[in-house]
Structures are given as structure tokens and as C-alpha cells.
């Protein structure tokens, strides 16, 4: 069967089993819900909140493969990892106000929130969204106390 392969030796069975789930979540979020354009010439700008997490780092790779401009948000310990995954710019949420720091790179065509919360909701205006075709989408619900 050409559609099967061996599990990479550096991954546990649980880690390997998670790859299709996070890939499909990232792809569906960007492509089906986010209006992601699958070409290598479109200059879409994407903000990924939680860019070092499971779905976030896969979203970075998908966007990088299509030459999109990626701004990722993560902690200081994951900055290099997120850059390796394809982010053009990385914002350290432990040292920056993420809303203000994100604003300097915007506006965005897609904001993919892999963390949750409401920090960006009041700011979803022309400073953050490129046009009325732009979208903010989250794969998680609001944070609870």
C-alpha cells in the first residue's frame, strides 16, 4: 500500500497518532474556514496565536509551504522552534503585550487562535483585519477561571 509508512523511530506511538489530527485541524482551519489560498504567489498575512503548540506549529509549516507571511506568538523558550517552523516574525508573549506587538505587523488576512481567550476580540478592526474577507478563528473556547 503506497499510502502507508513506518512510524518514525523518534516518535512514540501516541505522538505519531496525533500527527494526522493536528495536521487536519490546522489545514481545515486555514483552508476551509480561514479562506487560505493554496498558491505560492498570494501574499496573505497570517497571525498564529500559540504557534509552538501542536496545531500552531503545523499551521506555520502549511503557511510556509505556500509562501505566506507568518507572525507567530509563543513563549521565549520556543522562539527558535517557531522560526524553524516558518514564522517570519515571532512575538514572545512573556515579554510583550501580544495585542500591541501583533498590531505592528498587521493587518492580517487570517488570525488563527490556538490558545483561546478574549484578548483579541475587542481589537478585531482594520488594525488587525486586512479586509471584510479577513477572519479571526479559534480552535478552542474561552479560557475559564
pLDDT averaged over the chain? 88
Q: How far is CA 124 from CA 30, 109, 110, in A?
A: 18, 12, 11
Q: 3-state SS string over 104-134?
A: CCCCECEEEECCCCCCCHHHCCCCCECCCCC
The pLDDT tens digits of the residues spanning 95-136 come to 999 999 999 998 999 999 999 887 777 778 777 887 778 888
User: How many Cβ atoms sit within 10 Å of the Cβ of residue 117?
Assistant: 14
Q: Is the pLDDT of residue 82 over 70?
A: yes
C-alpha cell, 5: 509508512
For 105, the grid coordinates are 505587523
Model pLDDT, residue 142:
66
pLDDT tens digits, residue range 38-65?
Answer: 766 668 899 999 999 999 999 999 999 9
% pLDDT > 90, the chain: 52
Residue 86: what pLDDT?
96
In this prediction, residue 79 carries a pLDDT of 98
Cα radius of gyration (the chain): 15
pLDDT at 37: 73
Structure-block grid coordinates of residue 37:
489560498
**CA gap 8, 101 in Å, rounded:** 37
pLDDT higher than threshold 70 for residue 143: no
Instruction: Give the bridge partners for 135, in sequence order.
Output: 110
What is the pLDDT at residue 74?
98
More confident residue, 135 or 35: 135
**pLDDT higher than 90, residue 2:** no
User: What domains appear along the chain, each with residue ranges and CATH number?
Assistant: 38-138 (3.40.50.720)
CB 61 within 8 A of CB 67: no
Amino acid at each position: 500500500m503506497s499510502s502507508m509508512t513506518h512510524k518514525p523511530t523518534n516518535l512514540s506511538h501516541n505522538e505519531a497518532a496525533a500527527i494526522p489530527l493536528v495536521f487536519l485541524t490546522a489545514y481545515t482551519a486555514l483552508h476551509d474556514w480561514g479562506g487560505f489560498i493554496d498558491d505560492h504567489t498570494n501574499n496573505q498575512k497570517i497571525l498564529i496565536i500559540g504557534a509552538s503548540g501542536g496545531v500552531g506549529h503545523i499551521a506555520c509549516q502549511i503557511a510556509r509551504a505556500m509562501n505566506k507571511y507568518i507572525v507567530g506568538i509563543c513563549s521565549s523558550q520556543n522562539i527558535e522552534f517557531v522560526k524553524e517552523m516558518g514564522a517570519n516574525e515571532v512575538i514572545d508573549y512573556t515579554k510583550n503585550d501580544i495585542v500591541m506587538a501583533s498590531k505592528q505587523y498587521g493587518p492580517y488576512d487570517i488570525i488563527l487562535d490556538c490558545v483561546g481567550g478574549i484578548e483579541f476580540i475587542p481589537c478585531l478592526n482594520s488594525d488587525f483585519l486586512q479586509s471584510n474577507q479577513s477572519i479571526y478563528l479559534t480552535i478552542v473556547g474561552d479560557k475559564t477561571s
